[in-house]
Amino acid sequence: MFSDNDLVEVRLIGEGPLRAGVFSDAQALRSEVRRSWQDGNFYASLNRPRWRRADNRLRVTRTVLL
């Protein structure tokens, strides 16, 4: 997943608020998934993320999914 442009966008959709993050570090991504895997379902984008900077953590987002 990192081979396209060294960034991966991940979203966590569950009972609580939608969380999303952009990762450039595979270890940080694994850590976030391990910490939050019981909170819902993870989805990774197959397309290049719009964000060019990676925070390497999940954050609550205001995006509303319909």
On whether residue 3 sits in a domain, the answer given is no
On whether residue 2 sits in a domain, the answer given is no
On whether residue 54 sits in a domain, the answer given is yes
Per-residue pLDDT tens over the stretch 26-39: 999 999 999 998 99
Q: What is the pLDDT of residue 56?
A: 92
> In the chain, helix, strand, coil percent, each to 5?
20, 30, 50
Q: What is the pLDDT of residue 51?
A: 67
pTM reported for the whole predicted model: 0.78
Task: Provide the residue range defining the domain that includes 41.
Answer: 8-60
- Other CB atoms within a 10 A radius of the CB of residue 23 amount to 26
| Regions in the chain scoring below 50 on pLDDT | 66
Q: What is the pLDDT of residue 10?
A: 92
Look at the chain and report how many structural domains it folds into.
1
Q: What is the pLDDT of residue 66?
A: 45
On whether residue 22 sits in a domain, the answer given is yes
